[in-house]
Amino acid sequence: LHSAFERAIAQYGYGGHYQGVFPVKCNQQRHVVEQLVETGRRWHFGLEAGSKAELLIALSLLEDPKALLICNGYKDLRYIETAILARQLGRQPVVVIEQPDEVPRIIEASRNLGAAPLIGVRAKLATRSSGRWGSSVGEKAKFGLSIPDLIATVEALREADLLGDLRLLHFHIGSQISDIAVLKDALQEAGQLYVQLAALGAPMGFLDVGGGLGVDYDGSRSATAASTNYSLQNYANDVVATIRECCEPHSLAVPTLVSESGRAIASHFSVLVFNVLGTGGIASTDVPESEAGEPLIVRNLRETLGGINASNLQEAWNDAIKFKQDALSAFRLGYLSLEDRGRAEQLYWACCQAIANQLPSSEQPPDELRELGSALAGTYYANLSVFRSAPDTWAIDQLFPVMPIHRLEERPGQLGSFADLTCDSDGKLARFIASGSTKPLLELHELRDGEPYWIGLFLGGAYQEVMGNLHNLFGSTNAVTIRLSPGGSYQVEHVVRGQTNAEVLEAMEHDPEALLERLRRASEEAIQSGDLAISDARRLMQHLEGSLGQTTYLEG
């Protein structure tokens, strides 16, 4: 990110520099924020906070006096006072005014403490964004000042003798900007606002372009919700060039450029690895032995299977469907035994597999035959909770790259989707990346007895664990922090155990000790009634105590 802006600054002869901040909301985990602060220290990389708790995190970790601490979100008097007092610790907080009612609070806090923060203003741009978060910006946006509010804020700060502390203009046009044209329009509008604020007497000095630097989740490099039609260098070039063009005609010094590119940074921090517990929905395609006296329906399916060849695939598919429906109708009327219905279904699936095997891989099959893939697909049972570890796949149909992380030298022989551990039909992964599109099934391997099968979900480092919930009381997963070294080696730096059953119970205000005590009393009553031996009761309680300390996910 810094290198891209440095190249753009050099290319366009920009007189300022770039100084990024990381929005803590994207991933508040301590090891992530600490690593970002440590790695970004040489560029004076800062942090952005959107709440009082996030502000405290940022204050404790951000020791560089030149790094910016951008204070966004709703603010009460204590939030503002905390930011002002942070200047005594050598921090550089910028309190961004996002609502008109924050202006009198900043004035009050400054008078109470005899000091003022650096002040910023967030503008509601008329430019509308595109994509999933397009409706979150514009004149009806949740945060920001309208143009009349912006003018009133400048005058209020002037009257309070605080206009000299107004140093930053901030705007935000969505979490994932897919189309670079939208960014260009917003930059032109924001650039002119910056020039006009300086003309009104504010010293300014910083322009915060907010978040929105997108992630190309599906690799299509297109203006779709899961991609971007620009590169990181395109983004930096447009920011630098546009702001320079706005300031130059007015002989105004260009600002230090700030971005809050949390998604683009944090997405790459995480790979979610989960194992597959088993499969279902994959019908047996073994051909049952022929038996004397088979019903006509079963014989018809057997003849269809025997006659399948490359020239009659469509006809065979139609016949197989028809005979399977006939078998079901006959069973409902009592004319077909359970065993014969089972043979009919086995033969039907054998027909499906035989037809699929005959389809030429180089040609697009007829529409009717495209259903074969879904018919033969399996459900892979994943040892995870989508609601805990990848909630955006459920909430907003977010696409993430998903693929096996081993057996890569083997050609996958099965199509499938994933079902998670929750008792919820929405707990699934059933949208996968295709070439510039999506597909409901993923190429997977057949499971082997006694061998684990590992799957990776990539680019999920932003928001996912933070926004995950305890649906069905599946808690956080184990987390391992790995540092890559030159030459391909790596070092395990931290291991954080996932939540135990006891911890998730406590989160729901259940007392594990009280729970065990109730079970202990129940076991004593069972002993007294003769329903439970003392040795069995001891073993039962040891098992229950051990279960409380175990992971919420399945073992093996």
Average pLDDT of span 477-486: 92
With beta carbons less than 8 A apart as the criterion, state whether 98 and 72 touch: yes
pLDDT above 90 for 322:
yes
Q: Give the confidence band of 137 by pLDDT, cuts at 50, 70, 90.
A: low
Long-range contacts of 359-362 (CB under 8 A, 24+ apart): 359/313, 360/310
Strands of the sheet containing 92-97, edge to edge, are 21-23, 46-49, 68-71, 92-97, 118-122, 166-170, 206-208, 256-258
With beta carbons less than 8 A apart as the criterion, state whether 174 and 131 touch: yes
CA 112 to chain centre: 42
Tell me how far apart the alpha carbons of residues 373 and 369 are, in angstroms, rounded to a whole number. Answer: 8
Tell me how far apart the alpha carbons of residues 171 and 291 are, in angstroms, rounded to a whole number. Answer: 75
Q: What is the architecture of the domain spanning 1-264?
A: Alpha-Beta Barrel (3.20)
DSSP H or E segment with residue 354: helix 338-358
| Four-CA torsion 205, 209, 211, 213, nearest 10 degrees | -120
- Sign of the C-alpha dihedral, residues 402, 408, 411, 414? negative
Q: Nearest 5°: phi and psi at 62?
A: -95, 90
Residues paired with 275 in a beta bridge: 454
Tell me how far apart the alpha carbons of residues 396 and 217 are, in angstroms, rounded to a whole number. Answer: 14
Express each pLDDT in 47-67 by its tens digit: 999 999 999 999 999 999 999
Express each pLDDT in 283-316 by its tens digit: 777 888 888 889 999 999 999 999 999 889 999 9
Range of weakest confidence among 325-339, 408-422, 449-463, 482-496:
482-496
Tell me how far apart the alpha carbons of residues 239 and 132 are, in angstroms, rounded to a whole number. Answer: 22
- Amino acid identity of residue 242, one-letter, is T
Token pair of 316 as six digits: 């065979």
State the distance between the two ends of the chain, measured CA to CA, in whole angstroms.
41
Tell me how far apart the alpha carbons of residues 167 and 208 are, in angstroms, rounded to a whole number. Answer: 11
Residues of the chain above pLDDT 90, percent: 86
**CATH number given to 377-496:** 2.40.37.10
* Residue 131, pLDDT score: 61
Token pair of 393 as six digits: 């796949």
Token pair of 134 as six digits: 């397009």
Report helix, strand and coil shares of the chain as percent, to nearest 5: 45, 15, 40
- Sign of the C-alpha dihedral, residues 398, 404, 408, 411? negative
pLDDT above 60 for 233:
yes
How many helices (H) and strands (E) the chain has is answered by: 19, 19
* Residue 189, pLDDT score: 96
* Residue 135, pLDDT score: 61
Q: Give the C-alpha distances (Å, rounded to integers) separating 278 from 274, 419, 422, 442, 446.
A: 12, 10, 15, 16, 10
Q: Give the C-alpha distances (Å, rounded to integers) separating 118 from 54, 89, 115, 520.
A: 18, 14, 10, 60
Q: Nearest 5°: phi and psi at 146?
A: -70, 170
* Residue 129, pLDDT score: 64
Q: Give the confidence band of 134 by pLDDT, cuts at 50, 70, 90.
A: low
Tell me how far apart the alpha carbons of residues 422 and 437 are, in angstroms, rounded to a whole number. Answer: 28
Express each pLDDT in 234-256 by its tens digit: 999 999 999 999 999 999 999 99
- Amino acid identity of residue 446, one-letter, is E
Average pLDDT of span 488-502: 94
Mean pLDDT estimate for the chain: 94
Question: Which of 379, 455, 377 lies closest to 419, judged by CA?
Answer: 379
* Residue 315, pLDDT score: 94
Question: Which of 55, 51, 61, 52 lies closest to 31, judged by CA?
Answer: 61
Token pair of 240 as six digits: 């630098």
Average pLDDT of span 79-93: 95
Question: Which of 550, 534, 464 lies closest to 502, judged by CA?
Answer: 550
Q: Give the C-alpha distances (Å, rounded to integers) separating 258 from 300, 381, 409, 447.
A: 72, 44, 44, 49
Express each pLDDT in 453-479 by its tens digit: 999 999 999 999 899 999 999 999 999
With beta carbons less than 8 A apart as the criterion, state whether 46 and 68 touch: yes
Token pair of 511 as six digits: 């007392």
For the chain, domain boundaries: 1-264, 296-373, 377-496, 501-549
Express each pLDDT in 257-266 by its tens digit: 999 999 999 9
Pick the CATH number of 296-373 from 1.20.1440.230, 3.40.50.720, 1.20.58.930, 2.60.40.10: 1.20.58.930
Q: Give the confidence band of 367 by pLDDT, cuts at 50, 70, 90.
A: confident
Token pair of 500 as six digits: 């135990």
DSSP H or E segment with residue 326: helix 313-332
- Amino acid identity of residue 528, one-letter, is Q
Express each pLDDT in 341-355 by its tens digit: 999 999 999 999 899
* Residue 327, pLDDT score: 96
CA atoms within 13 A on the CB side of 255: 28
Token pair of 457 as six digits: 């979900």
pTM of the model: 0.90
